[in-house]
Structure 1
Amino acid sequence: MIDMHCHLDLYPNPGRVIAEADTRKAFVLAVTTTPQAFLGNIRLTEGRKRIRVAVGLHPELVASRYKEIDDVRKFMAQTKYVGEIGIDGSPDHVSSLELQSDVFSTIVKDAESYGGRILSIHSRGAATGVLDLIETNLSKSLPILHWFSGTRKELDRAIRLGCWFSVGPAMLRSRRGRELLAAIPRNRLLTETDGPFATDGKLPLLPWDVERMLPRLAELQECSETEVDEQLHHNLRALVGMLDQTNEA
């Protein structure tokens, strides 16, 4: 099982969740909202072979914490994963859109200067702006659009730009989410929970809840759940392999 976007440190009892994910042999990308949280996650997940930690600066926090961008760049030397980063165009954060775009652009350029990184990207209400910066600045890094909620036109553009997508059970709740999910190429698809922010209606989704995606993906792709699972693991290996080849070039 693969959870490509999870805020492990924000669960009420992160140690218990980490131990259970490890027992279940789940691959988890622990995204962070601030660079200081990156250090905390490194400590929390020490010795867990299937958990990777990304350094991030969440767009919702940029207005108050944009000065921490230098720490993002510094910690980027310690990990091949960067996230959560991006732009949020929702009403509560539209006033900081320009600053968010500047910060996102700077982080992306820094990732390129390190030879490329795997990026977990937030694009709620700002897909076009995010895609503009991806098109302008990325050649080595690999963008994963987390919980993509743009238009079909924006999705088609993202596919043309070579973006990957991480999708979770919460996307299945809306018709639009299901339609977008059906249009994503299966060889650029990964699963996520976005826990603990995403819930099943009552409780936060946990890393192993990505297994709920398998029946739905099997239905959409007209294949077995085993084939879906194999494809997802193939995709993860391919993604990491592509970055390793870029860094060796």
Structure 2
Amino acid sequence: MKLIDAHIHLDKYKNNEIDSILAGAEWLEAVLAVSYDLESCKRNLQLSRKYQKVKPVFGFHPEQGLPSEAEFSSLIDWMTLHRAEMIAVGEVGLPYYLRQEQRVSSVQFGQYIELLEIFVELAKNWEKPIVLHAVYGDAPIVCDLLEKHSVEKAHFHWFKGDDKTIERMIENGYFISVTPEIVYKEKIQRIAQVYPIEQMMVETDGPWPFEGPFSGKITHPVMMKESISMLAKIKKLTETEVSERVLENTKEFYSI
């Protein structure tokens, strides 16, 4: 079984943990190292230069305070300079959880949308895939932006949303990826049942911790094997069929 972790915050791990994740795991073909901010982008670029398996993704995670104009300008300038080394734009999106905590005003939310549109335009102009943090009610807003700019290579990581949005995403050819949460969360299993296997990937979103059988464990790409096992049961396919399909999906989507 060969796998690619389609979404991991590799720069958030300790150096010895990164070595442990990447060294000796012959079954792990690559990891998509998504970025949180400019410093995160720089760290992931360094890691990609050190480890062949690391494919860097540059962006600004939305679940944090808005950047200043100078900070955002510096990030875009840096991404422009290093766009040949990045495999995709991300992680970008909208601050759903901050809004749930009432830490984002309606005016600020409009500013997050404006920033996201800039990233969508960059992905289109640079002909790069875009990696999205867009769940529940935020997903339709993101779909509007993608459609507005005719962006087709969109990856909604750890997606959660309603049936209407799922149908729209499937029709538009957007991809989703499932985390180890699929092993113990019924709502994720239901989405996986509906979504075509041809538009799916697997991820860890590490070092984000998981519950169920993974409780108390450091998040590691090896957990994706359990995701594959559950996905095989849901899709009524063999684990080999599922692992080969999602591997090929990820390689084609990201041109790996």
Measured against the shorter chain, the TM-score band is 0.7 to 0.9
Superposed CA RMSD: 2.0
Point out where structure 2 has 5 or more consecutive residues left out of the alignment. Answer: none
Cα distance per residue 1:170-197 (max 9 Å; x no partner): 1343222110111111111110001112
TM-score (norm 2): 0.85
Distance 2:70 2:189 in 1: 38
Aligned residue runs from structure 1 range 75-94, under 5 A: 75-76=79-80, 77=83, 78-90=85-97, 91-92=100-101, 93-94=103-104
- Please name the residue that 2:64 is paired with: 61
For the pair 1:221 / 2:235, whether they are aligned, the reply is yes
Cα distance per residue 1:107-126 (max 9 Å; x no partner): 11012122x11211001341
TM-score (norm 1): 0.88
Choose which of 208, 213, 221 in structure 2 pairs with 1:207: 221
Choose which of 5, 8, 12 in structure 2 pairs with 1:6: 8
Q: How many angstroms does 1:62 deviate by?
A: 4.6
Q: Is the 8 A contact 2:88 2:254 kept in 1?
A: no
Matched pairs, number: 239
For the pair 1:150 / 2:167, whether they are aligned, the reply is no
For the pair 1:138 / 2:150, whether they are aligned, the reply is yes
Matching residue's letter, 1:7: H
Distance 1:188 1:3 in 2: 15
Q: 2:132 is paired with a residue of what secondary structure?
A: strand
Distance 1:7 1:23 in 2: 20
Choose which of 70, 74, 78 in structure 1 pairs with 2:78: 74
Distance 1:7 1:105 in 2: 23
Q: Is the 8 A contact 2:47 2:54 kept in 1?
A: no
Q: Is the 8 A contact 2:182 2:227 kept in 1?
A: no
For the pair 1:23 / 2:37, whether they are aligned, the reply is no
Q: 1:203 is paired with a residue of what secondary structure?
A: coil
Q: How many angstroms does 1:94 deviate by?
A: 4.0
Distance 2:104 2:163 in 1: 22
Cα distance per residue 1:34-60 (max 9 Å; x no partner): 022111122234232221011010011
Q: Is the 8 A contact 2:21 2:221 kept in 1?
A: no
Aligned residue runs from structure 1 range 137-216, under 5 A: 137-139=149-151, 142-199=153-210, 200-216=214-230
- Please name the residue that 2:117 is paired with: 105
Distance 1:182 1:64 in 2: 38
